[in-house]
């Protein structure tokens, strides 16, 4: 049987994601930058045009045909909308992305807030910058409507501070009630029909540049149910990360929904039972297999801590296999 390949777009530096998929399937890694380090963990690495280039989708179509790709998973926010439209019009039916209006709404953080409210899902009080009076009675987070990577996000404890940041940030912003409780993320995966297969919550022990670098998987029934409700209400296909706070006054409030893997991708992989990691499930989906939902079935208590690494390339930009430390790789378990 000729098994289908999986394609990852916008691989960048996410060597952890690419290498995890490459353990289970033929993997095509795409990035506009030929030096994208994550590509070197894939079966096939290839450069593609920039997302805004008219040939971007046709280039992906050619790769799908050449390598018999059964599923396409974007690793950044940047091409989810493009892939969503290409899936909707039949050009890339393999793409594991939501419908175009959901892709657009989740990229627009204020529209995402409104969408959450429409579905009866908890979202902190949120207004646009020109409606400051409606939210000026308590501390807020001032954040770009189309932001990512924790760029230009600032807490404001007074009206004067909020007005300063509204003027300081050189792009449209919104104001959201500052949540004072612990922050969590819920790593979810849905099938092609939008059915949630699993929802795995984790703590946010430390983040840098908007990416979680330390956290612990927890068995929190309320968060598990919240993640499932969000992705099924939105009709998510493939991965999604739901971020929420548990405020002592407001209770749970969702602050972000990203229809892609989060920075803490290793967490749900470590927490998965044998055969149930998200790369394994997506590989099965790529091959047309039905995957039974197993929401809440995972190993709680697993902690991850991320670190940086690198590759040496020769004159032809091929890996030399050499490392700068001995012995190479992570330390052996004690």
Nearest to 290 by CA among 197, 201, 206, 228: 197
Q: Are residues 168 and 200 in the same domain?
A: no
pLDDT at 167: 93
What's the predicted TM-score (pTM) here? Answer: 0.91
Q: Are residues 17 and 35 in the same domain?
A: yes
pLDDT at 135: 79
pLDDT at 104: 95
pLDDT at 123: 95
Looking at residue 147, which CATH number applies to its domain? Answer: 3.30.1490.20
**What averages of pLDDT result for each successive group of 10 residues across the chain (334 residues)?**
91 94 96 93 94 97 98 96 97 98 94 96 93 83 82 89 93 92 95 97 83 90 98 97 92 94 91 96 96 97 88 88 65 55
Tell me how far apart the alpha carbons of residues 74 and 55 are, in angstroms, rounded to a whole number.
Answer: 17
- Where in the sequence is the domain holding 144, given as residue range(s)? 125-177
pLDDT at 181: 86
Q: Are residues 193 and 297 in the same domain?
A: yes
pLDDT at 290: 93
Residue 327, preceding bond cis, omega within 30 degrees?
Answer: yes
Q: Decide if 104 is inside a domain.
A: no
Q: Are residues 159 and 199 in the same domain?
A: no
Q: Decide if 116 is inside a domain.
A: no
Buried-state track 219-249, b at ≥16 Cβ within 10 A, e below 16: ebeebbebbbbbbbbbebbbbbbbbbbbbee
Buried-state track 279-309, b at ≥16 Cβ within 10 A, e below 16: bbbbbbbbbeeebeeebbebeeebebebeee
pLDDT digits (tens, 9 = 90+) for 28-83: 999 999 899 999 999 999 999 999 999 999 999 999 999 999 999 999 999 999 99
Tokens of 80: 């989810």
Number of domains in the chain: 3
């Amino acid at each position: 049987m000729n098994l289908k390949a999986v394609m990852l777009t916008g691989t960048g530096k996410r060597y952890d994601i690419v290498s995890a998929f490459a353990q289970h399937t033929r993997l095509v890694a795409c990035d506009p930058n030929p030096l994208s380090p994550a590509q070197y963990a894939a079966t096939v690495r290839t450069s593609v045009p920039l997302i805004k280039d008219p040939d971007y989708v046709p280039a992906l179509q050619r790769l799908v045909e050449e390598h018999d790709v059964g599923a396409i998973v974007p690793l950044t926010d940047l091409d989810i909308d493009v892939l969503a439209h290409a899936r909707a019009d039949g050009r890339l039916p393999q793409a594991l992305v939501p419908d175009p209006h959901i892709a657009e709404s989740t990229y627009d953080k204020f529209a995402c807030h409104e969408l959450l409210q429409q579905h009866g899902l908890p979202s902190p009080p949120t207004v646009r910058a020109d409606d400051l009076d409606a939210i000026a009675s308590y501390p807020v987070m001032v954040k770009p409507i189309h932001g990512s990577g924790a760029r230009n996000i600032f807490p404001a404890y007074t009206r004067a501070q909020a007005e300063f940041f509204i003027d300081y940030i050189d792009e449209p912003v919104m104001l959201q009630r500052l949540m004072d409780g612990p922050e969590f993320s819920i790593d979810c995966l849905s099938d092609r029909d939008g059915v949630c297969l699993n929802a795995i919550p984790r703590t946010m022990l430390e983040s840098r540049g908007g990416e979680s670098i330390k956290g612990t998987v927890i068995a929190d029934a309320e968060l598990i149910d919240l993640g499932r409700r969000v992705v099924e209400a939105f009709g998510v296909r493939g991965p999604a990360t739901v971020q929420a706070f548990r405020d002592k006054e407001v209770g749970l409030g969702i602050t972000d929904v990203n229809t892609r893997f989060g920075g803490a991708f290793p967490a749900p992989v470590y927490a998965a039972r044998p055969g149930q990691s998200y790369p394994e499930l997506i590989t099965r989906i790529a091959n047309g297999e039905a995957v039974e939902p197993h929401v809440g079935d995972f190993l709680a208590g697993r902690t991850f801590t991320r670190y940086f690494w690198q590759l040496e390339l020769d004159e032809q930009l091929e890996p030399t296999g050499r490392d700068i430390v001995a012995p190479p790789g992570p330390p052996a378990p004690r």
